[in-house]
Amino acid sequence: MKETIKSRIPIHVDLAPNIDEVYSGICLKSNENIFLFVCFNEETKEFDGYAIIRNFVIEKYREWDEEELNEIKNNNISEFIGKLPLEKMNNMFECLTVLKNEELIAIFTENDNDSYFVGQIKSLTKNEAELKLMSEDAEWIGNEKIKIAEITYIGFRTSIEKELLNKNVLQHRL
């Protein structure tokens, strides 16, 4: 994995049998706790935001082949390299601490792989994060406390969060 990270080779990460999901992107950091990568958006065929996955949910990964590499329409990876303090991001709590000032993050928990929370971190302890939640309609809808030990995935700075933020700003201008 160290060579794959150093070479910035795109990979597919398979979470089955735990979670029926495959993620694609470029890994920036992998340790015994977390796997942090730049996401590849299959629809737009470009890199789109970041994700952090608990390392134990990863079943396997494989590097992209030539055909898959040719699918990249806009190689915008440079927009995402060197933008995070990776040395401060070694587990989920440390990652959340770094993300405390993000406008929006998305969190999946081990209790539910089909739905997720989108919001802004309001408070953070060693065991729990409290999010100010945003609805699909970009409305602030209340708070949710999430146990850090139950978080399996954190996404941020993707087109989904950016779209919600833009929609929210537009609503408040009306």
51: β partners: 37, 155
**Domains of the chain, first to last:** 1-90 (2.30.30.180), 91-174 (2.30.30.100)
Integer Cα distance of 16 and 133 in angstroms: 29
85: β partners: none
CA 99 to chain CA mean position, Å: 11
Integer Cα distance of 5 and 80 in angstroms: 14
pLDDT per residue rounded down to tens, the chain (174 residues): 788 888 899 999 988 666 677 889 999 999 999 999 999 999 999 999 999 999 888 888 999 999 999 999 999 999 999 999 999 999 999 999 999 999 999 999 987 767 899 999 999 999 999 999 999 999 999 999 999 999 999 999 999 999 999 998 877 665
To the nearest 10°, report the CA torsion of 116, 118, 122, 126. Answer: 30
Q: Which pLDDT value is given to residue 98?
A: 98
For residue 74, the 8-state DSSP code is B
